[in-house]
Structure 1
Amino acid sequence: MNFFDKVGKVALGSRLRLMTAAITDDAAKIYELYGISFMPKWFPVFYMLTEEREITITEIANEIGHSQPSVSKIIQEMTTAGLVQENLKTTDKRRNSVALTSQGIVVSKELKLQWVDVEAAVESLITESNHNLWAALEEWEFLLEQKSLLKRVIENKKIRESQDVQIVAFEPKYLDAFKALNVEWISTYFEMEAADYKALDNPQEYILDKGGKIFVALYHDEPVGVCALIKMKDENYDFEMAKMAVSPKAQGKNIGWLLGQAIVNSAKEQGAKKIYLESNTILKPAINLYHKLGFQKVSGLATPYKRCNIQMELVIA
């Protein structure tokens, strides 16, 4: 096991496959020990048939968590071995149910004696070990059902890459990036409008000189994301969060979240009580981000944008 000590947890799949191969190899020898001609991979399907009830291939697949083609192949193999046949007790041919043959029933009785010994052997392993693998498997299966290994890797990839993201205040040298990123984002889903050009062509006059802020996300010193905090005249809101855009090549690095946090923190520092934003519900990742930041849906304000179909606010405690 020196290899796995060196490689560590990234070789989880390989280590599990190695253990599975060893157990499967032993399982084949155990069947031989009891004089039973049986393949280990048949066991889950065969066990379902030992319950002596009418059952279809689809139902077996659903209960044991295998694909239907996989179960069909195993059924075919066991049929060839004389253990399984189409269920002759049913008259509903549409169900394509299967059952054990008389030979299969004899084998099932022989296997039940084997199962007693196998279960005792597994129990002895559990007793001898410091960790209950069976209980751990149940826990891991539950946790992976809640959040897959892939999703967990994606989350950690975002966290790691976000450490290389730097959020900085707007400078004139970022003027082209501020406009280009927004034009790229807006044009991907909608079309540019007059209000867009007003803010993007003159951010100093339209945003900064009126008490607003613009933040730029740098990834390896390249501007890949922007967002603005615009001072509002509305009596109910202090600022609007607007003009958030992230380059497609930099998505998946938590940049939207980092920009959103910078906007909220800046508003807090300026004593704001409420932040407002406008968006469109087709932008599901953006809407999810706003909810994560604490924004809630509101309505009633006039908007200069045709694309706006949702308005949200963040009440700052």
Structure 2
Amino acid sequence: MSIIDELEELAVGARLKRLYEYFAKDVVLIYKDEKLDFEPKYFTLYYLISKQGEAGVTEIAEELGLTHPGVIHLAKELEELGFIESVKSAADSRRRMLRLSAKGKEALPKLERVWAKIVALNKALFESQQNNLLSAIKETEAQLNEKNYYQRFQEMFNPQGQGAVQVITYEPQYARYFKNLNIEWINTYFTVEEHDLEQLNHPEEHILAQGGQILFARINDDIAGTCAIIKTGPADYELAKMGVSPKYQGRKIGNALMEAAIAKAKALGGTRLWLGSNRRLTPALSLYRKYGFKEFKVAATPYARADIHMELDL
């Protein structure tokens, strides 16, 4: 498995480019078998000109979704190969139009026969798939035409309706957020453990009834993050189960929860707040140190992932 395969969603562009190259290198061989000095990259430009008779660079760029320099570069190569030529526009002598040359017109019937075979092959290939590639591409393009990728990114990670961050305490209707946010971040880096599920599935029994508290960061009507303060001694509390939705990262949700957790631990009579974490989580460790947490040693921990423990005197 290559790094592109491992990256999955993060390397969609690279994967599509690689898929194109799979097709292109073999289509070049098909053209050679037909004695055609032609490459797949020329197809859409050549095809458009063959259907329209004549076309200007601006119209071609708009139709194909290419830049002007991109069209000019491809047109220059096709002109050097002799498939197209540049002529003055009959309507406006100041404009240059692209049209098929004599060689381009002569090659067209042969190219059309090759394209018909490629269409048949692609149909057979796509229809044999569990997830039809062409249908998936059409669906993705329709979604991006409705709302482009940048807009989607901004809405997911930089929401425009940016209300103030409000920290609230546990209510039964928020239990699912406590579990879901934590499951999401744990699975991103580690594996959910039995002790996690004990607390996440039964927070009222294992946290609240024992003298602890669960906090939530709310923005407008959306829960953006959560954490728990678990009583572990007469005046000791553990800061645990802190999770922030990726949608709201960058909004300093962790800071808001941390400040509220420290204040709540003090209000509950705590004199020491401690936590277990992992050295891989550099941003989280920086947050803890910012608020004065210092490392200490423990004999045992209920979490396999916890390789560092920190404490704060309140």
TM-score normalized by the length of structure 1: 0.49
